[in-house]
Amino acid sequence: MTITEFWNAQEFSRIATYSFNRNSNLVALRVAISRATEELAQAVLSADFTQQFKLKRQLADLERQAQVSPYEKRLLNQQRVIDSTATRIALLQGESAEGRQLRMIMETAPSKVEYAAGCIPIYRDALVFYDEQGQLLRVLSICFECLYMQGDDGTAVEASATVYNALREVLAQLGHPIE
């Protein structure tokens, strides 16, 4: 699916931009998981059997989170909850100046698609589409290193280097810490 096809398939009123899966946020997550793990381990020692079961399950969940590779991280988890390393950078109305700028980039996309050879995407930026009632509709995850985008359903979204450069510029202007 091309970026133009993906964009035109969305019936949204707002777009949120997110930055996630970046070093500073990942370090903070690991520190929080480490602290929580220590606290839960201590609590298990003094808990009754029922509490121990619940605490051990929480401990296992935290340990699983700590083990997730940056290559596997997505903005939404399986329960459609936004990742704890995510920071919302901007919330744009579809017809705002920035929204129109994004539409222009996506709808006038050149057709030549380019990929970084041999790269495995690490998604660090995302566009999240919302309807009028604020319900999350779709997520477009972006890897600027690999020139690769993916919808939240796993669909590859193709675009040219020109689109990535324009998108990178808009997101940086909004405050994304793109490397």
Question: Is the model's pLDDT at 152 over the cut of 90?
Answer: yes
Per the structure, the complete domain to which residue 50 belongs is given by 24-67
Contacts of 152 (CB under 8 A, 6+ apart): 74, 75, 76, 138, 139, 140, 141
pTM assigned to the model: 0.76
- Residues 83 and 147 both lie in one domain: yes
| Mean pLDDT for the stretch of residues 147-154 | 92
- Residues 99 and 33 both lie in one domain: no
| Mean pLDDT for the stretch of residues 93-103 | 92
How many angstroms separate the CA atoms of 10 and 174, rounded? 22
How many angstroms separate the CA atoms of 81 and 154, rounded? 16
Q: Give the residue carrying structure tokens 């319900």.
A: 135
- Residues 85 and 59 both lie in one domain: no
Please provide the average confidence, as pLDDT, over all residues in the chain. 84
Cβ contact 20:176 at 8 Å: no
Is 179 within the bounds of a domain?
no
Domain count of the fold of the chain: 2
Q: Give the angle subtended at the CA of 152 by the CAs of 66 and 92, to the nearest 5°.
A: 100
- Residues 63 and 91 both lie in one domain: no
- Residues 149 and 99 both lie in one domain: yes
- Residues 43 and 97 both lie in one domain: no
- Residues 80 and 62 both lie in one domain: no
Is 116 within the bounds of a domain?
yes
